[in-house]
Structure 1
C-alpha cells in the first residue's frame, strides 16, 4: 500500500510538472508572438556563442550602446527611426550564422545617450557609425538598414565610400519629400503622447538613460524627419557600393521615390515586397531576410 501511494504521488507530480511545462511553453509562445519575436530573440542571445558583446562606448560625445554577434565578414545592422536594435532581430539572427554582426542603438535611441540642445541628423548618426567601426578596428562593413537605418547607410555610402561594402536599404528615403505623412499618429507632425507611439514610448522609457527624455527625443526626431534627408540624385549617382533597394508594396515611402532612388544609384537592384508595408522586416521577415542574406553572400 505504501508503494502504491508513492506511485500515485509520483504520477501526480509528473502531471503537475507537465502542466507547468506546458503553461510555461505556452506563455513563452504567447509572449514571443505578442512581441513580434523579440522575446525569442532574448532567449537566442543566451545560447553560448551567439552574443559576443553587450556594451556602451564613448562615441562623439555620447554613450553609444551596441551589441555584437557571430563571426565572419562584418555587417552593421541599423534599426529605424524611434526604434531600437531588437526590431532587427530577424536579420541579426540570420546574418550571425556567418557574419560578425554589429547592432547599435542609434544616437538618442534606446539605450544610447543624447546631447542636450543638439539636433538629430543622419550625418551625425553616420559619423557615429564610422567612429564605432574605428573603435572596433573595422575598415569596411556591409550595412543593412531599415527606414532611418537605411538613410544612415546612404549617408555613409556617399560620404565614406571606402567604409561601406554592400548596402541594403528597406523603406528608406533619400529626401524628406519621399515620405507619405498621411499617418499623422506616428508621422512627422505627431505628438509624443499620441497612442500610436505607445509601444515605442514604453520601450524607450524602460531602457533609456533618462526615461523622462522621451518628449525631447520625439521633438528632435520630428524636426529631423521634417527636413532630412536631403540628398540629390547626383549624390546617389556617386555611390560606388553594390546596393539592394527594398520597400513594401504599401510602404510609407512613395513608390515613385523608391524607384527614383534605385534608378539613380549605379548598378543597384530594386525589390518591391508584394503585399507588405513599411514594417515587413519585423512583421513579415520571411519575405525580406532571405533576400538580404543572398545579397550579402
Structure 2
C-alpha cells in the first residue's frame, strides 16, 4: 500500500526487515515457527496468557500467520487490531484459524507496540485432527518461558521467515515478576518511543484534539506523517533534526491519538486548516515542513494556501492527484476499499474506509497550480516508489524553486529504509541558501 500501513496484514508484510539487523520502530514481535506441511487444511487454535503494565494506551497481543510453500502469506490475524482488552491482570487470548492448502509454516507470536511492560505466558498450540475429530496439542518450545531466552533458538525477535531483527527501543527478557504459571514469563518492554511520550500534549483545533510532541530548540520544523501513520513514522528523524531545529510532530486527525469529527469528510483541505490553526496557537510565524507521503501533500497545500507562513518544504512520496500513483497501487487500493466496505460490521472499518477514500479521491491539483509555490521545495521519492517517477519529476519541475531527489534502491518507505541518506539530503536542503 502507498501509505495506509496500519491494517493488520500490511503491518507484518510491508515493514522492511533484514537478517540480524537493529532497527528503530514503535513495535516489535517475538515469534516461534512450526512446520505444518502435514496439517494442511487442518483447523488450529493458538492461545496465551497476556497482561500489561506502565503503558499509555499501548497495545500488546498475540498473532498467528501461515506461510505457504512459496512464502506467500495465507491465514493472518493480529489481535492488537481487534477489540480485545489487555489489562494488568492475566487473561487468556485465543486465535482460531485453518492452515492453508499450501501451508508450510505456522508462525506464532507475541506483539507489543509503544511504551510499556508487556507480559506473555503459557503459549499453546492445538490442531484438530480431521480423522479422529479431536484436538491435539502440538508442543511448543519454551512455551512458558521457564528457560533462558537464546534468540534464534526457540523464539526470535522479528516476524519469522528466518528474519531476526532487533528493535532497539525494546528489550525482550524473561521475568520473575508475577508470572502466570511457574517461575517466569516473557517480558517485552518498550521505552522512549515517540508518539507516546509523557511530555505529549493536545491542542484544540478546528473541532478536534490534535496530539503533538516537541523536541529540541531553534527554528520550528513541522513533521507530517503519511495516511495510515502517526507521529512515530519519524522515529528515524526526530532526534537527528532536533539537534538543529525545534521539531514539532503531530498526529493528523483520525490518526494516532488525535480525534476527529465523524460528521465531516476527511479531506486534505480540512487537515490544512487543522495545521494552520495549530501553528497559530503555537504562535509560529514561519515554519519548515518535512512531509512523508500524505504529509508531503499537506506540505504542498500549506505552501500554496499560506505562502507567508512556509519557509521551506521537503516532501517524500507525494502526489498532486490520485493518478500520480502507479496503476497497480490504485487497483489494489480500490479492491481493498471494496472489501473493507463489504466487511464493515458495526462501523469497525470506518476509519480505514475514510483513509482509503482520501487517497483515491484527493488531492486534485494541476501541475500549473504549483507555479504559485514561492518557497524552496525539495521533492523526493524512492526509485521504486508507488508514486510514478515521472509524476515526482514533473512536480519538482513545476515549482519555481523546486529541487529533485530520486533515491536509488528504495521504495515509498525510503524514510525508514535509508534514514542516514534521507536525513542528510533534507538537512543539506534546509541549511542551504
Paired residue secondary structure (2:274): helix
Looking at structure 2, the residues matched to 141 and 52 of structure 1 have their Cα atoms a distance apart, in angstroms, of: 25
- Comparing 111-120 with 236-245, greater Cα deviation is found at 111-120
Cα deviation for residue 120 of structure 1 reads 0.8
Could you tell me which residue of structure 1 aligns to residue 210 of structure 2?
Answer: 64
1:165 to 1:188, Cα distance in 2 relative to 1, 3 A:
farther
Paired residue secondary structure (1:133): helix
1:38 to 1:127, Cα distance in 2 relative to 1, 3 A:
farther
1:35 to 1:164, Cα distance in 2 relative to 1, 3 A:
farther
Matched, 1:237 2:371: yes
1:240-263 alpha-carbon deviations (Å, 9 max, x no partner): 010000000000000111111010
1:291 is aligned, of 425, 428, 433, to 425
Matched, 1:263 2:397: yes
1:52 to 1:249, Cα distance in 2 relative to 1, 3 A:
same
CA RMSD of aligned residues (A): 2.8
1:55 to 1:188, Cα distance in 2 relative to 1, 3 A:
farther
Could you tell me which residue of structure 1 aligns to residue 273 of structure 2?
Answer: 127
Contact between 2:193 and 2:232, CA under 8 Å: does it hold in 1?
A: no
1:221-274 alpha-carbon deviations (Å, 9 max, x no partner): 121111211111221000001000000000000011111101000021100000
Cα deviation for residue 175 of structure 1 reads 1.1
Looking at structure 1, the residues matched to 336 and 318 of structure 2 have their Cα atoms a distance apart, in angstroms, of: 20
Q: For 1:24-103, what aligned pairs fall within 5 Å after superposition?
A: 30=157, 39=170, 43-44=191-192, 53-103=199-249
Greater C-alpha Rg:
2
Looking at structure 2, the residues matched to 44 and 294 of structure 1 have their Cα atoms a distance apart, in angstroms, of: 27
Could you tell me which residue of structure 2 aligns to residue 201 of structure 1?
Answer: none
1:186-210 alpha-carbon deviations (Å, 9 max, x no partner): 635414978xxxxxxxxxxxxxxxx
Question: Which TM-score applies when normalising by structure 1?
Answer: 0.76
Question: Relative to total residues, which structure has the larger strand share, 1 or 2?
Answer: 2
Looking at structure 2, the residues matched to 113 and 281 of structure 1 have their Cα atoms a distance apart, in angstroms, of: 26
Contact between 2:214 and 2:246, CA under 8 Å: does it hold in 1?
A: yes
Contact between 1:153 and 1:167, CA under 8 Å: does it hold in 2?
A: yes
Contact between 2:382 and 2:407, CA under 8 Å: does it hold in 1?
A: yes
Looking at structure 2, the residues matched to 256 and 246 of structure 1 have their Cα atoms a distance apart, in angstroms, of: 12
Could you tell me which residue of structure 2 aligns to residue 246 of structure 1?
Answer: 380
- Comparing 128-137 with 52-61, greater Cα deviation is found at 52-61
Contact between 2:337 and 2:356, CA under 8 Å: does it hold in 1?
A: no
Looking at structure 2, the residues matched to 192 and 72 of structure 1 have their Cα atoms a distance apart, in angstroms, of: 46
Cα deviation for residue 143 of structure 1 reads 0.1
Could you tell me which residue of structure 1 aligns to residue 264 of structure 2?
Answer: 118
Looking at structure 1, the residues matched to 165 and 338 of structure 2 have their Cα atoms a distance apart, in angstroms, of: 23
Contact between 1:184 and 1:190, CA under 8 Å: does it hold in 2?
A: no
1:30 to 1:283, Cα distance in 2 relative to 1, 3 A:
farther
Matched, 1:146 2:280: no
Gaps of 5+ in 2: 1-147, 159-163, 172-189, 341-345
Contact between 1:56 and 1:65, CA under 8 Å: does it hold in 2?
A: yes
Paired residue secondary structure (2:333): coil
Cα deviation for residue 289 of structure 1 reads 1.3
1:89-123 alpha-carbon deviations (Å, 9 max, x no partner): 11211111121111001011111111113111111
Gaps of 5+ in 1: 1-21, 195-211
1:73 to 1:187, Cα distance in 2 relative to 1, 3 A:
same
Question: Relative to total residues, which structure has the larger helix share, 1 or 2?
Answer: 1
Looking at structure 2, the residues matched to 270 and 93 of structure 1 have their Cα atoms a distance apart, in angstroms, of: 25
Matched, 1:219 2:365: no
Question: Which TM-score applies when normalising by structure 2?
Answer: 0.53
Cα deviation for residue 53 of structure 1 reads 3.9
1:39 to 1:193, Cα distance in 2 relative to 1, 3 A:
farther
1:38 to 1:130, Cα distance in 2 relative to 1, 3 A:
farther
